[in-house]
């Protein structure tokens, strides 16, 4: 198994051409950089260093935090106070389900729409997006595999999802390595695992 640094180096070698070599589908220009959940701080540091190297090579690198998008959706929906009150009254599972509704239901602030809006005005010929802080969606707030499915056809910007989890087989991932959780089905994007 490759180290985090080796996976970053592998990804970096495939980024300079635009479109990058990881792009398998025109309508889903995503790749996944997998790291072990206990490597969160190292992955964040490596992402910053990689962004700097790419910017020095002439790319525009935009970093988008999935945690920030989640909090934005909560704020735009019913607000944090409503989630806290729900958790106090009915428990964590009910609060988690409500946040999932905020991120999924078109009557609230779907995560796919928030992400698409952030990517909308970026130039895919010169920009690479890093999606970070996916761990904030654990344990069951929102499935990252669902987000990738929903983003199909919604952007042309090459995007790297920094994914905390375990590789199972050649193209299946277990988010956060959570016990008892089935791995997501095979992804249709390149995984640097």
C-alpha torsion sign, points 177, 92, 133, 118 = positive
Q: What is the pLDDT along the chain (193 residues), one digit of tens a residue?
A: 789 999 999 999 888 766 677 777 778 899 999 999 999 999 999 999 999 999 998 999 999 999 999 999 999 999 999 999 999 999 999 999 999 999 999 999 999 999 999 999 999 989 999 999 999 999 889 988 889 989 999 999 999 999 999 877 666 787 887 766 655 555 678 888 8
In a domain, 188, yes or no: no
User: Strand, helix or coil at 63?
Assistant: strand
In a domain, 192, yes or no: no
CA-based angle 99:103:107, to the nearest 5?
Answer: 105
In a domain, 184, yes or no: no
C-alpha torsion sign, points 134, 111, 115, 76 = negative
- Structural domain that includes position 58: 4-13+25-178
List helix spans (H) across the chain: 4-14, 40-56, 66-76, 80-90, 92-104, 111-119, 144-151
Alpha-carbon gap, residue 76 to 95, rounded angstroms: 16
In a domain, 187, yes or no: no
Stated pTM of the model? 0.90
Residue 64 CA, chain-centre distance (Å), reads 9
Q: Are 142 and 104 in contact (CB under 8 A)?
A: yes
In a domain, 90, yes or no: yes
In a domain, 8, yes or no: yes
Number of domains forming the structure of the chain: 1
Matching residue, tokens 């735009």: 76
């Amino acid at each position: 198994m490759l180290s985090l640094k080796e996976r970053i180096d592998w990804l970096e070698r495939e980024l300079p051409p635009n479109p990058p070599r990881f792009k398998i589908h025109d309508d889903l220009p995503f790749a996944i950089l997998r790291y072990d959940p206990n490597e969160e701080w190292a992955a964040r540091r490596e992402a910053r260093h990689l962004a700097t190297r790419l910017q020095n090579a002439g790319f525009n690198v935009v970093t988008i935090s999935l945690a920030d998008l989640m909090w934005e959706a909560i704020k735009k929906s019913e607000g944090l106070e409503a989630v806290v009150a729900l958790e106090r009254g009915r428990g964590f599972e009910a609060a988690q389900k409500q946040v999932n509704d905020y991120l999924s239901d078109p009557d609230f602030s779907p995560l796919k729409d928030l992400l698409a809006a952030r990517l909308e005005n970026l130039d895919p010929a010169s920009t690479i997006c890093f999606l970070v802080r996916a761990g904030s969606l654990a344990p069951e707030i929102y499935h990252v595999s669902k987000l990738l499915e929903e983003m199909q056809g919604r952007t042309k910007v090459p995007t790297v999802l920094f994914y905390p989890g375990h590789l199972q087989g050649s193209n299946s991932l277990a988010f956060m390595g959570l016990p008892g959780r089935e791995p997501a089905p095979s992804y249709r994007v390149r995984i640097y695992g």
